[in-house]
Each structure stands twice: as structure tokens, then as C-alpha cells.
Amino acid sequence: MEVDWSVVPGFLPQLAAGARVTILIALAGLIGGTILGLIAGLMRAYGGRVINAIAFVYIELIRGTPIVVQVMFLYFAMPILLGIRMDPMSAAILAIVVNAGAYIAEIVRGAFLSIPRGLTEAGLAMGLPQWKVLTHIVGPLAFRRLIPPLGNQFIVSLKDTSLFIVIGVGELTRTGQEIMASNFRAVEIWTAVAVLYLIMTGTLTFILRVIEKRMRIL
Amino acid sequence: MSIIEFHKTSKHFGDLKVLDEVDLAIEEGEVVVLIGPSGSGKSTLLRCINGLEQITGGDLIVDGISVRAGGRKLRQIRQEAGMVFQQFNLFPQMTALQNVAFGPRKVRGLSRAEAESQALLLLEKVGLKERAHHVPSALSGGQQQRVAIARALAVRPKVMLFDEPTSALDPELKQEVLNVMRQLAQEGMTMVVVTHEMSFARQVGSRLIFMEHGKISVDGHPAEVIANPPSDRLRDFLQHVE
Ligand SMILES: Nc1ncnc2c1ncn2[C@@H]1O[C@H](COP(=O)(O)OP(=O)(O)OP(=O)(O)O)[C@@H](O)[C@H]1O
Ligand SMILES: [Mg+2]
């Protein structure tokens, strides 16, 4: 079979629908993952022994297992263990939340702990409560250092959504495979799929660059 | 009642005893200069006063409140005892003015306009009105330290704690900071100052304390103690710093 690029426009709408699902999973998953990562990261950085240990176990559990296993667990094992049944889409989003959350927690912890201790002491010494020191002094400084590694994690998670092919979520990779199964246009389809991923990650990279440029690292 | 009262105050770091049953009373208006060899516990003594270090034995009362009280009471002590650090520790994301206005706004609850107009007066007092809108990285070390003093004063403390405020500065910049401190002492501010600037101790200090191994070994009038050191170790120490 010859390579024929003219077939691409024909299946583009279908691929675009798949890309929309990918974006939806990544967006919802990363919003949740960022919130979870922020909480777990702060627990690690500032929690007492017990709180720290809880966050530590969560992070190590996730970092020590592949994301495919995690989503399989959520989708196939949770119904048996806890009687919680979810549709593939929810399982996919939750997998990103839990998975990205663990990596983001380490990013958050590192960023907050990288802020010189003296600034915290200066805040405390004027009579601020610890939480105000975090929200007004350390937080804004840590945020600037957070952006580059956070952006990196967003890109990794966005690409990880392709692994949810294993539970049958109709995201971009899965859509590509479905079209393949009907017309065997491997070169055209996988090129188009790759280009769509590149557009998504490229957009993310661009947004991050703009934010980074606007904010000086202090 | 003294403004700061150490009652057999001890501080341990694990097994290491850094303050050893210190008894000390500081009265309002005193300028106490703390000297002593490295590791003798000067910084620790200072940091126990505002609870940056937690005492492990005895008691420590600041303006009638025990540092052991914790929580809101401890924050009250911290508002009464401003601190100036060796490394300035200015907030790098804020201008000089914002640094100084920060405490009044977030601790005392002043409006931004009120806090900033007061901050401007304080910056004028330390000679930095023209630098109000500069960020710390655009200021010299001496200027940064003067902003840091203004920032601590802005919370309206009754006592000022200085931990080697000029040690990180080039010799030519030390004086501008010492001058601000001298002026503060003349206005009657109660001050506890860890420093190796012996001329400052002699001219401005009302009391000189020499610390060794977590204990106060000499406590007297600066000029007298410096002229006639009551211990050999103090004499050796003074020879080394001057
Ligand atoms: N957070 C800490 N953990 C463990 N040990 C500490 C801590 N802070 C201080 N120490 C120890 O306590 C002792 C006294 O320290 P401190 O900083 O009070 O001395 P100092 O008199 O201020 O010395 P210097 O002149 O070097 O500043 C030192 O032996 C130091 O190593
Ligand atoms: Mg010290």
C-alpha cells in the first residue's frame, strides 16, 4: 500500500474528537493532581511525623508502580475491593490525578524547602502565624520555582493519557488504533496522531515559556 | 518587672546543652551587648527570646508573657520583640517600602495606605527614602540591613534583637548600620545586640555580657569590663576581636 496523505482529512474529525478526550482527561486530571500534589507536598514539607508519613507512603506507592498498573487497579480491582465501579473516563481522570499528584507533591516540597529558612524566620519573628508566612512569603517565592518542573510534569501526564488505551477510553491513541483497524493506513494515521500530540505539548510548552518570562525567579 | 527575664533557662539541641540554666534580667531602656566565642550560645539566647528556638528548661518571660505559652501569646511576644538578622532576610519579591509595610499590614492589620505612609517615614529615618521602590537585590548590604531594621521597627516593638547585624557587611558599610542602631539607642529603645564591634559596645552599650559554654561568665558595664577584664578568657577574647 502506498503512502497517501490525501486520506488524512477524511479521518481528521474522528482524531480531533479523540484529541478532545485526551485534553479533557489531562485537564481534569492535572487540575485535581495539582491540588492533591500541593496538599501532599505541603504535608511532606511541614507536617508532623504522622502527616509526613502518610504523604510519603502515598508518593512512594505511586512512584514505585507503573501508571498502567494504577489505572488497571482503579478500573478492575476497585470494584471488587470496595464495590466502587467507575466508567473508563472517570478511572482515567482519577489515575492522572493520583499519579501526577505524587510527582507534583515532590516538586512542591522541593520548591517550598528551597526557599531560604531565614525568610520564614523573618516572617515568624514579626509575629505572623505560620500559615500567613506560607501564603504571603514562602508560597509566592516557591511558586516561581515550581513552574518549570510543573510544566514538565504536565507534559508527561498529557502523554501518559495514551496508556489508557488499556481500559478502552476513546482518547487520541485509541482513536488512532480504531481507524487503523479499519483501513490499515499506519503511516498516515500515526503521523497525524503524533502531530496532534505535538500540537498539544507544544502549546503547553509555549504557555509555560510565556509565564516563565513574565515572572522573574527570585 | 523586667522586660526580659531568664529564669534558669536551658536550651538543648538533642544531647547538646547550648544554654545552661541562664539567669538574666533585662530592664527597659538597656542596651545589652552580647559577646563570646563562636558556639557559646549567643544566637541561641537571642532566638529563645522571640521563640524562634524553644527553651527546654526553666522559664523565659518577655513583657510579662512566658515564651512557653506558644500560639497567640508567642506571636504577641514576637510583635513586642523585633529581630534583625545577620543575613538581612528581606523578602526578595517586595520593594523596600513593601518590606517595611508588610508587618503593619499583616500583623497589625493596618490598611495598605496607612502602612505605606508609616513605612515611608521609617525609611526616611534610616536614610533610605529615595530607595523606597527598589527591590532588595538592587540595594547594597548596608542599605538592605537598614531596611531590615525599619521593617522590624514598623511592627512597633518594645525590644529590638540584633544578631550580628554587621558581620555580613564590608567594613565601609558597617558604620551606616551602626549609626542607625546608635540613634535607636539614644531614643531609648531596649536592645539586645550580639556583635563583635567593641567600639559600639563601649560607646552605645549600657551593659556587656560575655558568654561561654552556654553560661553568662561576665556581666558588667562595657567600659569597665573592657578596661579591666575580670577573667583571662575575656581578656584573650577581647584581644582577638580588636
Ligand atoms: N538548630 C541547631 N541544631 C543543632 N545544634 C545547633 C543548632 N543551632 C545551634 N546549634 C549549636 O548550638 C551551639 C551554640 O550555637 P549558637 O549559634 O547559639 O552560637 P553563637 O554563640 O551564636 O556562635 P557564632 O558566634 O558562631 O554565631 C553551637 O554548638 C551550635 O552548633
Ligand atoms: Mg551566632
pLDDT digits (tens, 9 = 90+) for A109-130: 999 999 999 999 999 999 999 9
β-strands B65-66, B81-84 pairing: unpaired
Q: Cβ(B119)–Cβ(B104) under 8 Å? A: yes
Which pLDDT value is given to residue A135? 93
pLDDT of B174-208, one tens digit each? 999 999 999 999 999 999 999 999 999 999 999 99
Which pLDDT value is given to residue A211? 87
Task: Say which of A118, A122, A132 has its CB closest to residue B106.
Answer: A132
Q: What is the mean pLDDT of residues A48-61?
A: 96
Q: Which residues, listed in sequence order, are joined to residue B31 by a DSSP beta bridge?
A: B191
Domain made up of A5-217: CATH architecture: Orthogonal Bundle (1.10)
CA of B237 to the centre of ligand 2 (A): 16
Whether pLDDT at A131 is above 80: yes
Whether pLDDT at A83 is above 90: no
Domains, chain B: 4-241 (3.40.50.300)
Whether pLDDT at A218 is above 80: no
Chain A nearest CA to B233, separation (Å): 32
Q: What is the mean pLDDT of residues A72-78?
A: 93
The Cα B236–Cα B213 span in angstroms is 16
Task: Say which of B76, B93, B102 has its CB closest to residue A141.
Answer: B93
The Cα B238–Cα B234 span in angstroms is 6
Cβ contacts of A49-58, under 8 Å, gap ≥ 24 = A55/A105, A58/A102, A58/A105
Supply the residue whose CA is at minimum distance from atom 29 of ligand 1.
B39
pTM for the predicted model, two decimal places = 0.86
CA-nearest residue to B86 within chain A is A118
* Mutation site for B-interface testing, chosen from A126, A128, A137 by largest number of B Cβ within 10 Å: A126
**CB of B13 closer than 6 angstroms to any ligand 1 atom:** yes
Q: Residue B22: enclosing H or E segment and its boundaries? A: strand B16-26
The Cα B211–Cα B197 span in angstroms is 16
β-strands B159-163, B57-62 pairing: unpaired
Confidence of residue A217 (pLDDT cuts 50, 70, 90): low
State the ipTM, two decimals: 0.92
